[in-house]
Chains A and B, each alone.
Chain A
């Protein structure tokens, strides 16, 4: 199985900060990676697919990059609505696997 490791596990930031979350795969997954945002008690919401494609309706302050084994999710200017937990997901092969999550907290 492909292991997905996110860092950091928790991130404290202020409104307006630039935030970067890293996701590493245990083997190459090409660009078969998605990012999701989850708020407490809610279902995950798709932000990015194919490593860098922005889902329709998602604010442009979100961006994704990377390929192979190293990926990043960047929020260019953190907004109050962005405080949530973020997960990466590889869909290169079954079983599909997720990172452990990164919680973005208010500093």
Chain B
């Protein structure tokens, strides 16, 4: 079955870096765009970044632009989020999510989602 499993979360000091991973299985990873979405404790959902199925395009939320980098390794069926210069306001559960439709470059909803990994930025 289609599965997404995030890892790499933890407690990190402000200003430091962390890399999240999302391992995909049960589908042809290289055919789908992938997203990161985060949710601060007790808050709503905030989209973070997208990478197209072939890695040719990436878009970011303004709140993370210049600090976070989304990437993928289609040979390892894995999505990454490199997070630098972390701030307290980056504390959240980070979900990876798949585009619902193959080879989409726009107008795509998310399905499925992983279970999330918690990132806590605190001194």
Q: Give chain A's interface residues, CB within 8 Å of chain B.
A: 1, 32, 34, 36, 38, 42-46, 49-50, 55, 87, 89, 91-101
Chain B interface size range: 20 to 34
By DSSP majority rule, is chain A's interface helix, strand, loop, or mixed?
A: loop
A-B pairs with lowest CB-CB distance, top 4: A34-B109, A43-B113, A96-B47, A46-B111
Residues from chain A with a CB closer than 8 A to the CB of B60 are 95
CB pair B100–A49 under 8 Å, yes or no, is: yes
- How far, in Å, is B45 (CB) from chain A's closest CB? 4
Q: Quick one: which of B59, B100, B112 contacts A94, CB cutoff 8 A?
A: B59
Residues from chain A with a CB closer than 8 A to the CB of B115 are 42-43
CB pair B59–A99 under 8 Å, yes or no, is: no
- A-B pairs with beta carbons under 8 A, tally: 58
- How far, in Å, is A29 (CB) from chain B's closest CB? 10
- Measured in the bound complex, the distance between the Cα atoms of B61 and A90 in whole Å is 14
Residues from chain A with a CB closer than 8 A to the CB of B113 are 43-45
Residues from chain B with a CB closer than 8 A to the CB of A99 are 44
Residues from chain A with a CB closer than 8 A to the CB of B62 are 1, 95
